[in-house]
Amino acid sequence: MAWWPNSWRQINWGYFLHDNGSRRYGRITQAMATSPSTIRRLASRLVLLTLAWSSCQSDAYSRELESEISVWIEPGQAVATSQLGGRREIPLDVQETVVGSDAKGINAIVVTSRRLLGFSSRTLTWSKTDRDLHEKVVERRILPTFSLVRTDKRLYGFRGANGIWFKEALGVREKVHRLHINDYGSVAVTNERLVGFGPLLGEFSSKPLGVHERITQVGNENGIIMITTSQRTLVFGSRMSGWDEFE
């Protein structure tokens, strides 16, 4: 019969010591030497496997969110309808013009000449955020649970779950080079940093880039975005509450 202790008194230097009345038994276990780089690689793979599994579980849910909201423009107002909430309007100002609108999943956005309007099928309300007078919209992306709008001065994120707008100002000399996005988050690559946003995060989350740090590879699959630079690997996924880093 295999021996197995009922209680551990001490674990130290690979020795497992067990008390049984006045007798003491010892067993030596051989410790496996693991380098820090190996640990980091294993941790990275574990994160990827965990997130990939979680993403697979969410695919059906994302497909269900494809058409919860419809949005259109009427004279003097924007209108959204949802399966549960019916019709909801938000008035437009007299000289406010609509640049574009779109809806997907649980959120809809309307871009006007001076504002960003967002509608959530979860809260059944419109919310708004103002833009500067000469702030130019460069790009807008709408996903099943969040939306992202990029201007020449800021990044705007709309979270469909609670209908809240978030914003992140760009630096005076900061320029967005690329935008990587999937159903679970987005990463804007600028000349100064990496800026992440996702439906489960409270705010934009950024990672500064070193002066001589250059991006060598970008991966975007299974709900995560992996950025490899000349110095480290950065992984962004909304289920991880932001960034994880491996050197």
pLDDT in tens, 31-42: 334 454 554 554
Give this prediction's pTM: 0.75
pLDDT tens-digit map of 168-197:
999 999 999 999 999 989 999 999 999 999
* Secondary structure E strands in 121-214: 125-130, 137-142, 146-151, 154-159, 164-169, 176-182, 185-190, 193-197, 205-208
Q: Exposure pattern of 112-126 as b/e (b: 16+ CB <10 Å)?
A: beeebbbbbbbeeeb
pLDDT, position 173: 95
Order of strands, edge to edge, in the sheet holding 15-20? Answer: 10-12, 15-20, 23-28
22 has a pLDDT exceeding 90 = no
Q: Assign residue 124 a region: left if phi > 0, alpha if psi is -120 to 50, beta otherwise?
A: left
Q: How far is CA 20 from CA 12, 17, 27, 217, 232, in A?
A: 18, 10, 14, 57, 50
Q: CB count, 10 Å around CB of 160?
A: 28
pLDDT tens-digit map of 50-65:
455 444 444 444 444 5
247 has a pLDDT exceeding 70 = yes
Question: Which residues face 182 on adjacent strands?
Answer: 185
Torsion sign, CA atoms 8, 10, 14, 18: negative
Q: Mean pLDDT over all residues of the chain?
A: 80
- What would the two tokens of residue 19 be? 């008390």
